[in-house]
Amino acid sequence: MNKYFAPSELIINEDGSIFHLHVKPEQLADKVILVGDPGRVPTVASHFDTQECDISSREFRTITGTYKGKRITVVSTGIGCDNIDIVMNELDALANIDFNSRREKEKLRSLELVRIGTCGGLQPYTPVGTFICSVKSVGFDGLLNFYEGRNAVCDLPLERALLNHLGWSGNLCAPAPYVIDAHPELIERIAADDMVRGITVACGGFFGPQGRQLRIPLADPRQNEKIESFSYNGLQITNFEMESSALAGLARLMGHKATTCCMVIANRVAGEADPSYKNKIDDLIQLVIDRI
């Protein structure tokens, strides 16, 4: 018999919904769009033809509906890879654990997950407004190290090449970056021929971990210069954001398909930013819901 998950491990609310998201198993579609900002959830759902639920809990807002006959769930994750650990584990539990018996289901569901986010561009060819699809994600966050299969799903040669290129040791190496591929079929379909494909670095913060120095000095002031000059088998690091590595890594371990598409709202090489991006991200949303 499949493993039993105790109430302390899989926390189910009194109404039968999962602890943080407050979503019930029957409310989850197979196609899932993840966004950081809860305010982006109704923007995505404004494209839907029908809507069956709209649930808010903390920074997690979830709407399930249909778009041109496709059932899609859009959920906000808030900021950071720690929230991706919560959202991915709870989505996977909704899909693959029977909430009555608290055991893994016999027939497992594979979800298709696309994150629509914002990011900082790191190359001259990724100016503000560029759409970037993550072919690989580098996790500066350490989250995947807590899961057993980490080495089996990570690109270990690229990890070594990047660490070597950065020349990091000591505190900056703990935890060492992990590198994970997005799902190849999903990249082809979502990025098509009009998005830049690159390596995304997911950082454990917006300022220091992304090489932004305000009043306090950075441990490696040359970090961004080194990241921008890194190249591996023809791929360059194109952008910084904060969730794609945890999403791609957990999706691989759980048997789901995932990738991340971001709109560049700040180009770090040019020193430019667009704080009024919210009315422009709808073009990226339209591409993703047509292709998911």
List interacting residues with ligand R1P (CB under 6 A).
35-37, 79, 117-118, 206, 241-243
How far, in Å, CA of 83 to CA of 36, rounded? 10
Return the one option of ligand URA, ligand R1P, none that residue 94 interacts with (CB less than 5 to 8 A, by type).
none
Q: Which two tokens stand for residue 38?
A: 């809860």
C-beta closer to ligand R1P: residue 93 or 242 = 242
C-beta closer to ligand URA: residue 85 or 141 = 141
List, as own/partner pairs, every contact residues 219-226 make where C-beta atoms lie below 8 angstroms and the sequence separation is at least 24, other chains included: 219/171, 219/172, 220/166, 220/168, 220/172, 223/166, 224/122, 224/268, 226/165, 226/166, 226/167
C-beta closer to ligand URA: residue 96 or 244 = 244
How far, in Å, CA of 59 to CA of 8, rounded? 22
How far, in Å, CA of 143 to CA of 80, rounded? 11
Q: How far is the CB of 241 from ligand R1P (least distance, A)?
A: 3
Assess 210 for contact with ligand URA (CB under 6 A).
yes
Return the one option of ligand URA, ligand R1P, none that residue 243 interacts with (CB less than 5 to 8 A, by type).
ligand R1P
Assess 27 for contact with ligand URA (CB under 6 A).
no
Assess 35 for contact with ligand URA (CB under 6 A).
no
Cα angle, residue 52 at apex, residues 286 and 20 outer, rounded to 5°? 90
Q: How far is the CB of 99 from ligand R1P (least distance, A)?
A: 29
C-beta closer to ligand URA: residue 73 or 83 = 83
Sign of CA dihedral 262, 190, 255, 10: positive
Q: How far is the CB of 222 from ligand R1P (least distance, A)?
A: 23
How far, in Å, CA of 40 to CA of 38, rounded? 5
Assess 277 for contact with ligand URA (CB under 6 A).
no
Q: Compose the 95-134 pattern: x for residues touching ligand URA by CB under 6 A, - for all others.
A: -----------------------xxx--------------
Residue from 88, 265, 284, 288 binding ligand URA (CB under 6 A): 265
C-beta closer to ligand R1P: residue 12 or 261 = 261
C-beta closer to ligand R1P: residue 5 or 85 = 85
51-75 burial code (b ≥16 CB/10 A, e <16): eeeebeeebbbbbbbebeeeebbbb
For ligand URA, the nearest residue by Cβ is 120
Q: Which two tokens stand for residue 243?
A: 């969730």
C-beta closer to ligand URA: residue 185 or 272 = 272
C-beta neighbour count of 280 within 10 angstroms? 13
Q: Which residue has the tokens 């921008």?
A: 228
Q: Which of residues 212-251 bind ligand URA (CB under 6 A)?
A: 240-242
- CA-based diameter of the chain, in Å? 58
Q: Which two tokens stand for residue 168?
A: 């990091």
Return the one option of ligand R1P, ligand URA, none that residue 112 interacts with (CB less than 5 to 8 A, by type).
none
Residue from 266, 285, 287, 288 binding ligand URA (CB under 6 A): 266
